[in-house]
Structure 1
Amino acid sequence: MPPARKRARAYDPARTRAAVVAQFAHVREAVRGLDPGQLARPTRLGEWTVRDLIAHTGMAVTAVHRALDRPAPPKQDTTLVQWPFATAAGAGAIAEFTRGLAADHPDLDAHLTDVDTALRAVLAEHPGSRLLQTSAGALPLDDYLVTRTVELVVHTDDLNAALPGLDVPYDRQALAAATRLLADALAVKAPGGSTEVRIPPYAVVQCVEGPRHTRGTPPNVVETDPLTWIRLATGRLAWPDALAEAKVRASGERADIGGLLPLMS
């Protein structure tokens, strides 16, 4: 008998919407007082400066507006967990768009304020069932907003790395949703039940082909914290470095998941 298909994880729409708004507000407040020297600082994202990164963070939110401005697709043709695998294809166009956006909005505070106002307005206007055409395919608005938690949490971490001491906070629900979506993507990329990946307090998934664990302590276990997991899943941190720095605990012959990472970049 084939194994039972796993039920897709459910996300509370109201909490997701609140998390997107809250995390964007954290970013907007933290970068409001940055001076020109700080905005010109490099980031870990190639040639992007902090200014570029902030502009891109706003762009990740306005992706909701742009999608809602287009006609709704006739039907949903993908699932939320497929989104992480579709992001790399548009990286070049996104980078070019970001540089143009940063140049066109010298007053980033005013720009982010406008983005925030528009976000709240479209979320109040549109139901979560409204279909959007996204890079991964047609998804409901409520599902697409889960992907925005990934974008916002990842780029919050990028900002904190670029400007030590900035300490942009992480909304708990945004961090939870981002962690869970990327954990589920790993389980899709490497289906199986031989290895348990634990990211307390938000996610536990089974993955990797091999003997399925059913009782007691799993023979193959990977455990890490949410931000380390997100850095691994998005290519900000390499698996060998995470092991060397004791940011990941991996035990068992099937616990080396480095070859499956990153999931998106």
Structure 2
Amino acid sequence: MTGARTDFLAAAAAAEELLRRPEVARAWRLPSALAQWSVGGLAGHLAYQVLCVPEVLAAPEPAEPVVGLLDHYARSAWVGAALDADVNVRIRQGSEAFAADGPAVLHRRLAAVLPELADTLAAADATRSARLPFWGPWALTLDDLLATRTMELAVHGDDLAVSVAVDGPELPPETAESVIGLLARLAVRRHGRAAVLRTLSRAERASGSIAAF
């Protein structure tokens, strides 16, 4: 199995561990650490990153052209969009709806897919392309799509853990490194190589944030 697939499975297992925490259930209707997100909505968004994958794999291979990973983010409408932009409002509303049945049901849904997911991914064609239904007219390789979901799981898992004041599950070092590598590439695309290099190596030359998004 490819590194992208094992990274995704590790991040999915970490999300399941976090969603079973009682602190998440107790804070379900409270505001999260992210502006305009509830804890429940954030949990729904986290779980969706895993639950969408079996649906993607069950769908026919898309006819849309395959683009590279960084090109995908360059085309994505949510990148750089304001909190009240239509795309971000739809994401929040969809996540709240996804979690509407409550923490126990959401956790059961996520836990139920994990045992079969490893076998499904191991059997998937290495050359297969995939896409999510709300993307524009493009697709990614399956491994690149999984890389995007792994990054979402890592970032929003940390958001959720901070929201309920717990330590999030530790990702395996290789999975964390793959996420950090993707975020670094996106930071370079946004800020330029010099800004990222200086901020990481010379505090006195840091020009400000080098956040990927």
Please indicate, yes or no, whether the TM-score normalized by the shorter chain is above 0.5: yes
Give the aligned length.
200
Partners of 1:122 and 1:60 in 2: CA distance: 16
Distance 1:128 1:41, change over 3 A: farther
> Structure 2 vs 1, CA of residues 87 and 24 (structure 1 numbering), >3 Å: closer, same or farther?
farther
User: CA separation of 1:67/1:93 partners in 2, compared to 1, >3 Å: closer, same or farther?
Assistant: farther
Cα offset, 1:55, TM superposition: 1.6
| TM-score, with length taken from structure 1 | 0.65
* Match in the other structure for 1:197: 196
Q: CA deviation at 1:262?
A: 4.6
What is the match of residue 103 of structure 1?
Answer: 100
* Preserved CA contact (<8 Å) 2:31 2:39: yes
Matched residue, 2:164: 163
| Residue identity opposite 1:256 in structure 2 | S
Give CA deviations for 1:244-265 in whole Å, capped at 9, x if unaligned. xxxxx5344xx4254xx5543x
The structure 1 segments of at least 4 consecutive aligned residues displaced by more than 4 Å after TM superposition are none
1:153-183 deviation line (CA, Å, top 9, x unaligned):
1011102211223432233222211111121
CA separation of 1:168/1:39 partners in 2, compared to 1, >3 Å: closer, same or farther? farther
State how 1:59-208 maps to structure 2 within 5 Å: 59-74=48-63, 76-85=65-74, 86=76, 88=78, 90-104=87-101, 106-134=104-132, 135=135, 137-190=138-191, 195=194, 197=196
Letter in 2 for 1:22: A
Query: 1:24 maps to which residue?
Result: 12
CA distance in 2, matches of 1:19, 1:37: 29
Offset at residue 87 of structure 1 (A): 5.4
Question: Which of the two has higher C-alpha Rg?
Answer: 1
1:187 aligned counterpart, secondary structure: helix
Higher helix share: 2
* 1:28-53 Cα shifts (integer Å, max 9, x gaps): 12331415423333212233222222
Q: Following the alignment from structure 2 to structure 1, what is the Cα–Cα distance between the partners of residues 63 and 107?
A: 37
Q: Tell me: CA distance 1:67–1:257, structure 2 relative to 1, closer, same or farther (3 Å).
A: farther
**Once the two structures are aligned, what percentage of the paired residues are identical?**
25
CA drift of 1:75 comes to: 6.0
1:129 and 1:257 map into 2 onto residues whose CA distance is 40
Q: What is the root-mean-square deviation in Å for CA atoms of aligned residues?
A: 2.7
The structure-2 alpha-carbon separation of the partners of 1:196 and 1:40, relative to structure 1 and needing over 3 Å to count, comes to same
In structure 2, the gaps of 5 or more residues are: 80-86
Say if 1:75 and 1:131, in contact at 8 Å, map to a contact too.
no
Shift of 1:115: 3.4
Distance (Å, rounded) in 2 between the aligned partners of 1:25 and 1:77: 28
Q: Are 1:62 and 1:115, in contact at CA under 8 Å, matched by a contact in 2? A: yes
Aligned to 2:41: 52
Which protein has greater RCO, CA pairs closer than 8 Å, 6+ apart? 2
- Are the equivalent residues in 2 in contact too, given 1:78–1:138 (CA < 8 A)? yes
**Structure 1: gaps of 5 or more residues:** 1-12, 199-220, 225-248
Give 1:190 shift.
4.7
TM-score, length basis structure 2: 0.78
**Residue pair 2:50, 2:110 contacting (<8 A) in 1 also:** no
* Aligned with residue 34 of structure 1, among 22, 32, 46: 22
Q: Does 1:250 align with 2:188?
A: no
Give, in whole Å, the separation in 2 of the partners of 1:97 and 1:196.
36
What amino acid sits opposite 2:67 in the alignment? T
Question: What are the residue-to-residue correspondences of 1:206-225 with 2, within 5 Å?
Answer: 221-223=198-200
Cα pair 1:40 1:50 within 8 Å, conserved = yes
More strand by share: 1
